[in-house]
Amino acid sequence: MEDLTQEEWAEQLANDTNAVVLDVRTDAEVADGIIENAIHIDIYKGQEFINEIEGLDKSKNYYVYCRSGNRSGQACQIMEQLGFENAYNLEGGMLEWTGDVVDL
C-alpha cells in the first residue's frame, strides 16, 4: 500500500494502463459524484465488501479513495492482506480532490 498525494495519484493514474479506480464511500456519499470509471464498493458493508474485493483481479493496480483518505487507507490494508500487490490510497480523499467527478 502506498499513500499518494492528490497530484501523485492523478499523475500515476493517468499513466497507468493497468489501473482500476475504487471508491469505498457510502451510497449517500457517492450520490454527490464519483471519479469517472470508478468501481463503487462500500467499505462499511463488512464481509460483503471483502467478498466483492476478493472477486477483483489481483494483477491490476488499484487507486482507492473515500471522503477523507481514512477508509480508503483501511481498504488498501485489507486488499494487501488479501494478496493485492498494488493499492494506492488517495491522501485527503474527495475533500481535497480537484479533478473531475461525474454523477451516477
Active site residues: 66
* Grid-cell match 494487501, residue found: 80
Q: Taking a C-beta distance cutoff of 8 angstroms, is the pair 95, 65 a contact?
A: no
Confirm if 61 and 19 have CB atoms less than 8 A apart.
yes
DSSP category for residue 69: S
